[in-house]
């Protein structure tokens, strides 16, 4: 019998999810509707990170969505890494389950990949970014302080490392995520730090962002956790020197 050739989709959209039963349905509807209306050849992957609610059932009920279940809960970094490596798309986007940055912002990032970037990251702080509903003041202050410390050490020149809307070409995605080991919230720092040291070009792109008041971020708890992860990532990458941009 002739072998079956699996065609690669143009795009993979990876959505990490942990106990997102109340938000994942509207997000998947928005994503799949936009992709269909714009005739984008894409696969949508929801990577469930050991949810204890009905996230998996809600996602599986949505047509055209593939669900990857992982257990136990290990963190957003593990879920995104799993999705990036399992994906088949020529370009691979990960976005948050709360749809804070809508998939309609994707063309802005794709334009930068077409212009020679290997990775294009959405930014809430780059000139031209729009915030439709800001986060509470205490979260904004915590984010700015944490980002300032991180930027100077691991990702100089990048204004917003943590926006959950990042696009990779397939080669960069596989090369970078196959090396990352950070499972928690700070995984973006290791991804961007490794990508820089591997010589990949990273473009920061202003996007539209809306805060979801149901955010799971806790400044005190997460400040301690992020500090530990940051120090660990700095040790991991400390011996590596940045390569020249590709």
CB atoms within 10 A of CB 229: 21
- Point out the residues that are catalytic: 188
| Residue 4 to residue 246: CA distance in whole angstroms | 35
Tokens of 80: 């995104």
| Residue 89 to residue 170: CA distance in whole angstroms | 7
Contact by Cβ (8 Å): 161, 190: no
Tokens of 165: 């809307």
198: DSSP letter? T
CB atoms within 10 A of CB 243: 11
Query: Rounded to the nearest 5°, which phi and psi values hold at 61?
Result: -75, -10
């Amino acid at each position: 019998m002739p072998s079956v050739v699996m065609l690669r989709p143009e795009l993979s959209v990876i959505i990490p999810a942990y106990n997102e039963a109340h938000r994942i349905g509207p997000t998947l509807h928005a994503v799949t509707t936009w992709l269909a209306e714009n005739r984008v050849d894409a696969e949508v992957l929801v990577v469930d990170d050991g949810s204890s609610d009905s996230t998996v059932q809600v996602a599986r009920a949505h047509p055209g969505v593939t669900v990857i279940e992982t257990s136990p809960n290990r963190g957003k970094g593990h879920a995104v890494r799993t999705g990036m490596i399992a994906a088949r798309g020529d370009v691979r986007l990960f976005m948050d389950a709360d749809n804070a940055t809508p998939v309609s912002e994707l063309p802005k990032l794709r334009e930068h990949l077409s212009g020679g970037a290997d990775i294009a990251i959405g930014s809430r702080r780059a000139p031209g970014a729009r915030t439709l509903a800001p986060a509470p003041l205490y979260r904004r202050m915590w984010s700015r302080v944490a980002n300032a410390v991180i930027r100077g050490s691991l990702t100089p020149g990048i204004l917003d490392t943590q926006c959950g809307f990042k696009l990779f070409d397939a080669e960069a995605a596989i090369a970078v995520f196959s090396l990352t080991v950070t499972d928690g919230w700070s995984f973006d720092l290791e991804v961007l730090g490794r990508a820089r040291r591997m010589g990949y070009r990273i473009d920061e792109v202003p996007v539209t962002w809306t805060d979801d008041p149901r955010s799971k971020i806790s400044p005190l708890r997460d400040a301690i956790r992020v500090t530990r992860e940051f120090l660990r990532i700095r040790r991991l990458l400390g011996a590596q020197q940045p390569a020249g941009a590709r």
